[in-house]
Amino acid sequence: MEDYKKKLGGLADKLKQDPPKTPIQEVHPVKDVEEPKEAEAQLNVWIPKSLLKTMKGYGIEHDLSLKDINILALQSFLKGNLKTSVEKQS
């Protein structure tokens, strides 16, 4: 039994003296750069059910939320109409 204790004690000393043979890897989390968000306002509208169903289908196919679809649609609409209203005024 005493021989066994000596072997275990010797093993512990060996582990303390020998440097680790594999390098220890450091892990650093990646920091996301957050874009400053524009202030948001609420918009409630009533639309036909068929249009809502079409929007939901489009959102599923293109991985977009209803909010994202509405924002894209309004931006596109306003971009086109602002150009035509500027041309009419000129």
pLDDT value, residue 75: 94
Q: Which residue has the tokens 């959102």?
A: 59
Label residue 61 by pLDDT band (50, 70, 90). Answer: very high
Q: Which of 16, 20, 66 is nearest to 43 (CA)?
A: 66
DSSP 59: H
**Does the predicted model carry a pTM greater than 0.75?**
no
Report the CATH fold assignment for 45-90.
Answer: Arc Repressor Mutant (1.10.1220)
Label residue 1 by pLDDT band (50, 70, 90). Answer: low
The rounded distance, in Å, linking the Cα atoms of 88 and 90 is 6
Q: Where are the domains of the chain?
A: 45-90
pLDDT value, residue 44: 93
pLDDT in tens, 2-60: 777 776 767 777 777 777 677 777 888 888 877 888 899 999 999 999 999 999 999 99
φ, ψ of residue 28 in degrees (nearest 5):
-120, 125
Tokens linked to 88: 């009419």
φ, ψ of residue 40 in degrees (nearest 5):
-110, 155
